[in-house]
Structures are given as C-alpha cells and as structure tokens.
Structure 1
Amino acid sequence: MEQVRLLEAIIETAIDGIITIDNRGHIESLNPAALKLFGYTLEEVKGRNINMLMPEPDKSGHDGYLHRYQTTREKRIIGKGREVRGLRKNGSTFPFRLAVSEVQYDDRIIYTGFIHDLSKEKEAEERLREYAAELEELVEERTKSLRKTVRALSEAKEEVSLSLEKEKELNQMKSRFVSMASHEFRTPLSSVQLSSSLIEKYAQPFNNKNIIKHVGKIKNAVGNLTTILNDFLSLERLEAGIVEPAFISFDLVKLAEEVTEEMQMIAKQEQHIIYQHTGLESVTELDQNLIRNCMINLISNSIKYSGEHTFIEFNTEINEHECTIMVKDNGIGIPEADQKHLFQPFFRANNTGNIPGTGLGLNIVLRYATLMNGRLHFESVVNKETTFKLSFNR
C-alpha cells in the first residue's frame, strides 16, 4: 500500500501530463498536469474518446491508428515519442511531445501517454526566427538598424535573466544566433565588400566623384557591420567560457600579410596600412585564430579613428625572448581621463562622436591576450598618435 500511495503521489505531482486510455481509446484517467494543459475537469473527459483532445486531422484518424497498432501487436514503448498537437477545451491548440507505452493491467491492456508541453520551446524557436528575419533586413539598413537589434538583444537578455529558466532559454537562443550569424552573415558581407571594391576599380576610368563617394559609404558600412558582428560573436564565446586557446606553430608574417591585405580593402580613401616584420624568424607558437582576431580589431580601430590620407603602421617582431605585434596610427587618440576605462566592455571614449563602434574590441583583444598568457600595452596622445602593443613570451 505504501508503494501504491507513493506512485499516486508521483503521478499527481508530475510536471508533465499523464493520460491513460483503454483499448477502445476511451479515457480512464488524467493527472492534474494533463487536466490543466487541456482545460478540462476529470468528469468532463472520463469515458470519452481520446480524440476529443485532438485537432483535425489527428482527431479523425486516431481510431484507425489505434486499430492498426493493436492489429500489428507491436509490443514496444515509444521512448522519445513524437511531436503532436493538442486541442484545449477553449478551442486553442498547443504542441507537445507524446510518448506512449502499452501496459498489461488486471488481465487487460491500457495505454499510457506521457505529455511534455512544447509551447515555450516553440515560442523560443519562433522568437529566434523573428530575430533572423530582422537581421536580414538589418544588413540592408547597415549599422543603424543593427544597433537597434543589438539593443533589443541586450533588453531580451535583461528580461530573461530574471529567472533561471528564462536564462537557460536565452542561452539556447544566443547559441543558435551565434551559429546562424557565423554562417549566414560572413559570406554575404564578404561578397558585398568584394563587389564594392570591384565597382570602385571598374569606375576609375570614369573619374566620377559620386561613384567613389557612394562606394566608400558601402565599404565603410559593411566594415562597421562586420566589426560589430565579429565583436558580438567573440564576446558571446568568451562569456560562455568556450574559448580555449589552441597553441600551434604558424607563420606570423604570412598571417600578418593576409590581414593587411584584407584590412586594406576596408580602409578609407588614401589610407594605407604599412606592414613590416623585424627578426630573422617568422614562425611562432600561439593560437592563430585569436591572434588574427586581435590584429583585425586593432587595425579596425586605427582605420575608424584615423582620417583619410593617413598611414597605419603594423609591425611584428620575433626575437629569442618574445613575440610582439604593434599597431600605430595618427588618429584622434584617447583622452587621458578615459584611458583607465578603455578595456571595459561597451566603453567608448568621449571623443569618438558619431564614429560607429560597440566598445567591445579592446576588451576582446585583452581577454584573448590573457588567454594566451600575453600582455596588452598602449600609449596615446589626443589628436597625435595611438600605439597598441601585444607581447607574448617565448
């Protein structure tokens, strides 16, 4: 009797719904969770056909399904179950995962259905699809619209952090967003950037200032969008604690030359990136992807905060003691009062004005450098020059 009472208590307090029917499909019992899901009392459903809880076409086809099941006598438990829809008393429907088991009880066969409500999961998936659609439009609207979405994501994060369940849901959404954004946005952004460069090249014989002006706007917008996207992808991975440096030997000079060529494509008019390597060695052992990200972030900042017709110095050096990466520009500089806050996430110096940015790049560079046991040092004079230097012991 004690075991019976325990079993009844478990069924009565179960979070998921539990329904039992006889071999004719008539309802014998529903636990409180199932009654709440469908909006009925036990008296309203007991003895009636289970198809009253199903929308069409499942309602009409259920008796045939049950007959085929009994005819084939497939003795099995449907473990993971299948996704179906339920019909509430008020006429609304909802998705749930149904697992059915066949039970021999008192010389007769009953069927037990276990119901797990999928409404919240479907809502989360729908919200994710809505974000994806918004992001596609944001590519066309460029930086302005993307900022709006970023704010929406930040607001969503604050809302879901009110409870552990909502925090878990947000993490799932963010992971899906990171995966989607990584695959779906990089390729079209690269295509837009390449096409704008080709337009600029083919338009040179016409010497049309309007073409040059608008192509420059396209390149700047795509560059800003790419930087923002990369910053948020990097921050998400860092916050999730999934960034583990993979130390491998690679050619630092070759990597730096590739980054120089790539960043030159998004530089401003007559803005030149001058790369130089010091030392006889070119191979070092660090995480190549993290180093590449650091280079791109530092050079992107120099491009943004320096004017046209300027030079950006990009230097690497490998000696017997350390490996260093240095980026120097002659841009707007960093006010002394802001320098102590420079590496805080989302912080931007008060002289940046309308120059787009997330305030995440330097925070990401510092955290990547720390993961590789490196150091990040900078010096800056307002309206004169700024130098950032990464150092790694060998």
Structure 2
Amino acid sequence: MENAALLKAIIENAIDGIITINERGIVETINPSACKLFQYEPSEVVGNNISMLMPQPYRKEHDHYINRYQTTGEAHIIGIGREVTGLRKDGSQFPFRLGVSNVNFSGRKIYTGFIHDLSREKEAEDKLKEYASHLEEVVEERTLSLKQSVRELQRAKEEVSQSLEKEKELGQLKSRFVSMASHEFRTPLSAVQLSASLIDKYAEPLHSPQISKHVNKIKNAVGNLTTILNDFLSLEKLEAGRVEPSYTTFDLIKLAEEITEEMQLMAKQNQNILYQHTGTSSMVQLDINLLKNCIINLITNAIKYSGENSFIEFNTEINSFGCAVTIKDNGIGIPENDQKHLFEAFFRAHNTGNIPGTGLGLNIVARYAALMNGRVDFQSNVNEGTSFTISFPAQ
C-alpha cells in the first residue's frame, strides 16, 4: 500500500503529463499536468477515447488503428517515440514529445503515455528560424548594397583616374606654358629695362624731373613684372618636383652683406637695411641659391610693407644648434585672422591694399626652407611690424 501511495504521489506531481489507456484506446487515468496541458478536468477525459485529445489527421489514423485492433487483435499506438500534436479543449493545438510504454496487468495490456510539452522549445525554434530568416534577408540586402557600393566605387575610381589623367595633361600644359611664358617675357622686359636705363642716362644733362619720374615708373613696373615671373617660375618648379637642394659650404656673412647692398638699392627713400651677425663662426652648409631667394623675398616684403624713413633689421646667427636668419620691419603688420593662411599660395593679407604682389613669396620661402630641413616662424602686429625667422638645424 505504501509503494502504491508513493507511485500515485509521483504521478500526481510529475511535471510531464501522464495518461494511461487500455488496448481499445480508452483513457483510464490522467494526471494533473496532462489535464493542465489539454485544459480538461479528469472526469471529462477518463472513459473516453484518447483520440479526443488528437487533432486531424491523427484522430482519423488512431480510429483506423483501433478498428484494426478490434479485427486482428494487433495493437498500434500512434506517435510512439516522436513529436506529435495535441488538441486542447479550446480547439488550440500544441506540440509535444510522446513516449509510450506498455505493461501487462491483471491479464490485460495497459499503455502509458508520457507527454512532454514542446511549446516553449518550438516557440524558441520558430523565433530562431525567424531571426535566421531575417538575418539572411539583412545579409542579402547588405550584400546587394555592398555590391552596389563596389560598383559605384569602381565607377568613381574610373572617373577619378580619368580626371587625374586630364589633370596631369593640364598640369603638363600649364607647366610648359608657365616655363615658356616666363622665359619669353624676360626678353622684352630686359629690353625695356635696358632702354629705361639708357633714356635715364641720355636725359641726365637735361635735368628733367619729369623724365626721371617716368623712367623710374618704367623701372619699377619692370621690376614688379620680373618678380611676378620669378615667383610663377619658382612655384612651377616646386609643383613639378624639380627643385632639389644643392648643398655647399659658404660664408653666410659675405652672402648677407652682398644681399644687403643689393637690396638697399631697391629700398624706399630714407629706408635703411641694417645688417648684424651673431656668433664666432660664419660658415654654413646649405643651398646658397635657395637661401638667397628666401632672404631677398623677405627683405622685399619688408621694403614693400614698410614706409619711408624706416629701418629694416637683417640679422644672422650661428650657434651650436644651427643657424637662423631674421628680417624685422616696423611696417603695416599682418591681421591676426590672416596669419593662419599666410603661407598658402596666392593668399594676401586684407590690409595690403594696392601694394603689388602675387601672394606666392611666403609660400615659396616656406617650401624652400623645408627642402633644406628648415622652418619659418613669424611674429606680427598690425601697424607695429613683422619679424620672420628662418631656422636651420646644425649639420
């Protein structure tokens, strides 16, 4: 009796549903878990055919098996050991795994069905399939998008290649034109400069201030045009990568004194260039032509942007760290908002007014200095002047 009570308690409290039927498929017992799964009270199931818990086509097949048993005496239980579908009282269906065992008891066979609900597993499986399907759609969509992007990138690459080829051709044309124009313009400018000098010489006995005035205008105009041509030619060579430093050892003081003498002739009335050197050594190893171009460019700017009756300080220094060249003026200065663009090609500060210039000089100075591993620094205040320093590390 104690074992029977224990067995009954186990069946009553089992998580899975347990149903026993006889050889004709009539339900004899059903535990609470099975009642909960099928939504029936025990009294509504016990004594009825198990097919009441089966949806079609399982019910029809089960009826066929029962008829065969009644005719042949051979039993067959549908769904043994596989997943089947159950029918609830409200007409809804749910999946479950069915395990069946048969026992001979009191001279007859009793079949026990063990029902494990698969609703959550199937729901999770369906969600997984849905997610997988969604992922496949996303992957397909992304793949199509990537293919489209690749095609667009390919087209863009071809367009860029064509544009670069055209730009290269235009660059070559521009380079040839600038080179040709610069050289061709030099010849008539030289002739104009020579003629102006001769006119000035021949008119000297006349002591005519008007002749001297106009001759000076011609000379200044030729000088400005020559500077413009030199700037364009230098920029063209830099852009084409045809400028390579040629290092030699030379006397920096001697070069600076020659430049000072040359630039003093171009200075405005009572505008004096004061040169000074600091350091016991005067020898440096740089590209003398690139350095001379940088210094002349900076002094030319100091002359242009400073007034008459002013001083331009030109200093050189050689120490253990390297050498430095500084040109300082007390001219119009550079507005603070313009200073960040100062070394850009063709940029000119907003306060330059009608003062002639191409906006290339400082760009060329910075690039020439960089070719010699140097750098350009400056300080400037509007109406107080500007100081430029080119620094080169020790060799």
Query: 1:261 deviation in Å?
Result: 2.9
Aligned positions of 1:208-223 closer than 5 A: 208-223=208-223
User: Given that residues 220 and 266 in structure 1 are in contact (C-alpha distance below 8 angstroms), is that contact kept between their aligned partners in structure 2?
Assistant: no
> What is the TM-score normalised by the length of structure 2?
0.53
Separation in 2 of the partners of 1:188 and 1:283? 39
The farther-off stretch of 297-306 and 184-193 is 184-193
**CA offset digits 1:157-183 (Å, max 9, x no partner):** xxxx98445434333333333443454
Alignment match, 1:373:
373
CA change 1:173–1:192 in 2 (3 A) is: same
The farther-off stretch of 207-216 and 377-386 is 207-216
Separation in 1 of the partners of 2:273 and 2:237? 29
Alignment match, 2:244:
244
Alignment match, 1:341:
341
Residue type at the aligned position of 1:210: Q
Query: 1:194 deviation in Å?
Result: 6.3
CA change 1:180–1:341 in 2 (3 A) is: same
Query: 1:205 deviation in Å?
Result: 7.1
Aligned positions of 1:283-302 closer than 5 A: 283-302=283-302
Aligned positions of 1:138-287 closer than 5 A: 163-181=163-181, 183-186=183-186, 189=189, 192-193=192-193, 196=196, 208-287=208-287
SS in structure 2 opposite 1:314? strand
Residue type at the aligned position of 1:211: I
**CA offset digits 1:283-311 (Å, max 9, x no partner):** 20111111111112111111211122322
**CA offset digits 1:100-153 (Å, max 9, x no partner):** xxxxxxxxxxxxxxxxxxxxxxxxxxxxxxxxxxxxxxxxxxxxxxxxxxxxxx
Identity of aligned residues (%): 73
Unaligned stretches of 5+ residues in structure 2: 1-160
**CA offset digits 1:216-238 (Å, max 9, x no partner):** 32232122212211111111111
CA change 1:387–1:195 in 2 (3 A) is: farther
Separation in 2 of the partners of 1:181 and 1:366? 25
Separation in 1 of the partners of 2:329 and 2:207? 29
**CA offset digits 1:79-115 (Å, max 9, x no partner):** xxxxxxxxxxxxxxxxxxxxxxxxxxxxxxxxxxxxx
Unaligned stretches of 5+ residues in structure 1: 1-160
Separation in 1 of the partners of 2:326 and 2:278? 11
User: Given that residues 197 and 265 in structure 1 are in contact (C-alpha distance below 8 angstroms), is that contact kept between their aligned partners in structure 2?
Assistant: no
SS in structure 1 opposite 2:315? strand
CA change 1:227–1:325 in 2 (3 A) is: same
Query: 1:342 deviation in Å?
Result: 1.0
User: Given that residues 216 and 268 in structure 1 are in contact (C-alpha distance below 8 angstroms), is that contact kept between their aligned partners in structure 2?
Assistant: no
SS in structure 1 opposite 2:328? strand
Query: 1:212 deviation in Å?
Result: 3.8
Residue type at the aligned position of 1:287: D
Query: 1:249 deviation in Å?
Result: 1.0
CA change 1:329–1:214 in 2 (3 A) is: farther
Q: CA RMSD in A?
A: 2.7
CA change 1:385–1:185 in 2 (3 A) is: same
SS in structure 1 opposite 2:227? helix
Separation in 1 of the partners of 2:197 and 2:333? 29
User: Given that residues 334 and 380 in structure 1 are in contact (C-alpha distance below 8 angstroms), is that contact kept between their aligned partners in structure 2?
Assistant: yes
SS in structure 2 opposite 1:250? strand
Query: 1:370 deviation in Å?
Result: 1.3
